[in-house]
Structure 1
Amino acid sequence: MSVIEQPVSNRRVAAEVWIVLGLSLGQSAVYALVNIAARLTADTPLAEQTATLNASQSERPYLDLVYQLLSIGFALVPVALALYLLSGPGRSAVRSLGLDRSRPARDLGWGVALAAAIGIPGLAFYVLGRALGITVEVQASALDTHWWTVPVLLLSAFQNGLLEEVIAVGYLYERTRELGWNRVKFIVASSLLRGSYHLYQGIGPFIGNVVMGVVFSWFYTSPRFQPDGRRRVIPLVVAHTLLDVVAFVGYALVPAEWREALGIR
């Protein structure tokens, strides 16, 4: 009986993965693929196009705030769904994915280290992409200046980190392991997924995020960094959040002439 039930179980797991991705990063990847196709076939060269990461959604400040908070909140629903699906009797997905607070100092330390290791090469990929004409000009934030602007950008950075690392790394690893995937196959799939939903920014960010995906998924699955066998996604969330905080908020501290030279507005 088990021989008959296994393929059915695998089909259900695969269907679940497609549903979760279809509600989250997979959906973003499809839109990004269409977007990059539109950009590459447009009359305007890719290097002269712009991508806005945090756009205003209303001219009325408090209505804009409500829209921003709703957008952040609903973007985290797939995270809740993934954690729910991975949980069960006697099994907490929060604990199994390493989202608990059992090692705050170590998680923070690794998160900062990963952010530093990815941040500088990531900026280099962006600058090189701009120079080669394969990366659009990125507008990190188009929000008007209000008392809530920085807190919203910080929340947006955290939302990105939690959504991408829980779905693209933690959840996807658990489910693909059930499907019999080995570590290398998972790392390749996770990294390509991460790169694909950044394609709207151009070819350079696609390559940079694939590299980031390789580093993050390798770190998450490496026994060297998980000595007790418990994988922890929190360092990845910390690292991703720090990278986005620098991109969304820290850019304003960079001199205007430097931002212009890097193609950042």
Structure 2
Amino acid sequence: MTSGPVPARPRGALRDWLSPAPPSFPGVATDPRERRLIGLEIAVVLTVTLGLSAVRSALSLLEALLNPAPLADQQVTLNAPASTDAWIDLAFQLVRALQLAGWGALAAYLLLRAGIALRRVGLDGRRPWRDAAHSAGLAALIGLPGLGLYLVGRLAGITPDVAPSTLTDQWWRIPVLVLSAAANSWAEEVVMIGYLLTRLRRLGWSENRSAFAAAVLRGCYHLYQGIGAFVGNLVMGLVFARYWQRTNRLWPLVGAHLLIDVVAFVGYALLGGVLPF
């Protein structure tokens, strides 16, 4: 008596989601010279963008730990005045946002130069409403536990007081904070997800290895906010990386990051003196 093939064992939805989807990008580079150039390109991009930020952030945390004052009594500011003159301060804030926008644009340009259309990484307008819904869901998934982790860190004394904004109450304060959130979200998600994960695929890195490396780096450039911020952004990096690996959609990640930062920056500016936390 013969028997047919044994049917494949179905996988649960969670296990299926946690497993990366087969990549639909160009195969692994085998030419040694091309591999060296890709590695050098990644090193240069990270050196001038978020990799250098990670080094500065680690040094800031070390300095804070060496400070005689307890970490819980120290404060770090995300959007601080750069000048006592309101117009010069506005110019500084706009230049900072332009720099971040340039980081993301550089990463997008290098993908195009590598022959990878931006729609391949999910930067297109094919499904705006679905992308927006996913942005809101991801923002809630990451933002609410992130706030809880911050509050726990403050109670435990291992997280400094993070002030999302100390900008003076000028007419341009809220628009600049929204612009800062947009620039942050564009730079981080395009560089860390769209660019880095794509180029690591080309080098033959596994999906899990590249996701973990990108998430660790994301956590490192938030170290100046304390260990809690490192852990929270590490988790955020893992979730965002796996989402992109499963969907190849980058706009929902940019949108989710934008919503999280807008709520933090603008909410603090408007309610920082009212809410107890």
Do the two structures share a fold, i.e. TM-score over 0.5? yes
Structure 1 residues 105 and 245 mapped into 2: Cα distance closer, same or farther (>3 Å)? Answer: same
| Cα displacement (A) at 1:5 | 6.6
CA offsets, 1:22-76, max 9 Å, x none? 1111010000011111111111111111000001111111111111111110222
Give the 5 Å matches for 1:15-164: 15-88=40-113, 91-92=116-117, 94-164=118-188
Seen in structure 2, the aligned counterparts of structure 1 residues 256 and 66 have a Cα distance that, compared at 3 Å, is closer
* 239, 258, 261: which one aligns with 1:244: 261
2:239 is matched with 215
| Partner of residue 235, structure 1 | 252
Tell me the amino acid that sits aligned with residue 71 of structure 1. Answer: R
What is the alpha-carbon distance in structure 2 between the residues aligned to residue 129 and residue 208 of structure 1? Answer: 11
Structure with the greater alpha carbon radius of gyration: 2
Counting aligned pairs with the same residue, the percent is 45
What per-residue deviation string (whole Å, max 9, x for no partner) do you get for residues 99-138 of structure 1?
Answer: 1211110110000000001111000110111111111101
Does residue 258 (structure 1) correspond to residue 237 (structure 2)? The answer is no
Q: Contact 2:97–2:180 (CA<8 Å) still a contact in 1?
A: yes
What is the rounded CA distance, in whole Å, between the counterparts of 1:252 and 1:57 in structure 2?
17
CA RMSD of aligned residues (A): 1.6
Q: Distance in 1 between matches of 2:108 and 2:183?
A: 15
TM-score (norm 2): 0.86
Distance 1:89 1:182, change over 3 A: closer
Deviations 1:188-221 (A, max 9, x none): 1011011000000101111011011111111111
Distance 1:252 1:72, change over 3 A: closer
Further displaced range: 239-248 or 71-80 = 71-80
Alignment match, 1:175:
199
1:200 aligned to which of 224, 249, 259: 224
In 2: Cα distance, 1:89 partner to 1:30 partner: 28
How many residues are aligned here? 249
SS across alignment from 2:194: helix
- Unmatched segments (≥5 aa) in structure 2: 1-28
